[in-house]
């Protein structure tokens, strides 16, 4: 409807074309859905291309965020391990000092 192609809404609805299905449509499938105008198909295909590019960009951004979180989590884990080793060493040194006295 936002593309001024509301004449196709009823057929898309009747065929249960949702967002996921929409992204799978190509020119021949659009034609089979009753979209006889090549201009209308071109509009839809251009918009679908934009949507796919946007989805891919969002997916890559999500992957980047997940990698950054994982890197941060590993760094924090390493710091905890270092602190634990220092604490163990200090405890061990204190125990040895007490035993020597």
| Residue 3's pLDDT band (cuts 50, 70, 90) | confident
Can you give the pTM of this predicted structure?
0.61
Quick one: pLDDT at residue 100? 55
Contacts of 24 (CB under 8 A, 6+ apart): none
Q: Is the pLDDT of residue 88 over 80?
A: no
CA 17 – CA 8 distance, rounded (Å): 11
**Do the Cβ atoms of 72 and 80 come closer than 8 Å?**
no
CATH code of the domain made up of 4-83? 1.10.150
pLDDT one-digit tens code per residue, 19-68: 888 888 899 999 999 999 999 999 999 999 999 999 999 999 999 999 99
The Cβ of residue 33 has, within 10 Å, a number of other Cβ atoms equal to 17
**Do the Cβ atoms of 40 and 5 come closer than 8 Å?**
yes
- CA 41, 43, 47, 53 dihedral sign is positive
The Cβ of residue 43 has, within 10 Å, a number of other Cβ atoms equal to 15
Give the percent of the chain with pLDDT over 70.
Answer: 89
Task: Please compute, for residue 70, the number of CA atoms within 13 A of its CA located in the half-sphere on the CB side.
Answer: 6
């Amino acid at each position: 409807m936002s593309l001024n192609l509301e004449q196709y809404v009823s057929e898309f609805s009747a065929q249960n074309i949702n967002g996921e299905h929409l992204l799978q449509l190509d020119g021949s499938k659009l034609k089979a859905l009753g979209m006889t105008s090549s201009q209308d198909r071109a509009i839809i295909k251009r918009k679908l291309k934009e949507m796919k590019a946007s989805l891919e960009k969002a997916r890559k951004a999500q992957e980047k965020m997940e990698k950054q979180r994982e890197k941060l989590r590993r760094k924090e884990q390493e710091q905890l391990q270092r602190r634990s080793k220092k604490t163990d060493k200090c405890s061990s040194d204190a125990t040895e000092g007490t035993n020597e006295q």
